[in-house]
Amino acid sequence: MSRGRDKLAPWIPSTKEVIVEALRIANVKSSDKLYDLGAGDGRVAIIAARDFGAKCVAVEIDERLCGVIYSTVKYYGLMDRVGILCRDFLSIRIDDATVVYMYLYKSINELLANKLEKELGLGARIVTIDFPIPGWQPIRIRRLVDRTGLARTVFLYIIGASNPRALVKHITPVSRDILVRMGIGENIEDKGIAGTKDKAEETSMD
């Protein structure tokens, strides 16, 4: 049975060209492990596994959709590359993800930001569709018009560069102390990396 109270966004599928563009921007390759948080019918994981060679985990709370993912993954013979977690994405660990795909609301991205920051390693990439992660600095923004004629936006974030607070847990207490005394630690924790904001915007209509 689907636990409706935990369903934080409805199922609206990404179109194929949006998925392919997002996976390209995130430079997804066979060494990657991609999690789609809120996987719908599993199309993102299937394309990432079949066309980009990545290992994937499709996380979906709706059991009916989990059934669809299972059948499609089986149909394409991708059982060894796509795992299915029929769970609430807030309740699973994503430490081994190198890429995370999220087509969710801005408020849900905000809810997940802390989890991403805590669990992902430096350099992990996150792509969000149409909605940014509030407070994080996108590394790239790509705008396109999909086949339905709708304008879409793909945001790319990189752990450490987009959210400098993530760097703090990777430095030793001594170096953190030195950085703080130099006034740099405070910048890392509170102010973000200056000067990156205006470089991210990259618009093009396909």
- The b-or-e profile of 184-199 (16+ CB within 10 A means b, else e) is ebeebeeebeeeeeee
Our CB check for ligand SAM shows the closer of 120 and 127 to be: 127
Q: Which of 21, 23, 34, 43 binds ligand SAM (CB under 6 A)?
A: 43
Please tell me whether residue 56 binds ligand SAM under the rule CB under 6 A: no
Q: How far is CA 178 from CA 70, 133, 173, 182, 190, in A?
A: 52, 30, 9, 6, 16
Do 11 and 76 meet the contact criterion of CB atoms below 8 Å apart? Answer: no
Show contacts with ligand SAM in window 5-24 (CB under 6 A). 6-9, 11-14
- Which x/- pattern, by CB under 6 A, does the window 22-41 give for ligand SAM? --------------x-xxx-
Distance, CA of 154 to CA of 23 (rounded, Å) = 10
* CA-wise closest residue to 18 among 160, 146, 140: 146
Q: How far is the CB of 102 from ligand SAM (least distance, A)?
A: 7
Distance, CA of 129 to CA of 156 (rounded, Å) = 9
Distance, CA of 96 to CA of 34 (rounded, Å) = 9
Please tell me whether residue 97 binds ligand SAM under the rule CB under 6 A: no
Which residue has the closest beta carbon to ligand SAM?
38
- Return the range that interacts with ligand SAM (CB under 6 A); candidates 54-62, 75-83, 131-139, 146-154: 54-62
Distance, CA of 35 to CA of 126 (rounded, Å) = 10
Please tell me whether residue 60 binds ligand SAM under the rule CB under 6 A: yes
Our CB check for ligand SAM shows the closer of 78 and 90 to be: 90
Q: How far is CA 10 from CA 27, 29, 108, 154, in A?
A: 27, 29, 12, 19
Q: Which of 20, 76, 88, 189 binds ligand SAM (CB under 6 A)?
A: 88
Count the site residues for ligand SAM by CB under 6 A. 24
Our CB check for ligand SAM shows the closer of 152 and 176 to be: 152
- Which residues of the shown chain bind ligand SAM in the complex (CB under 6 A)? 6-9, 11-14, 36, 38-40, 43-44, 59-62, 65, 88-90, 103-104
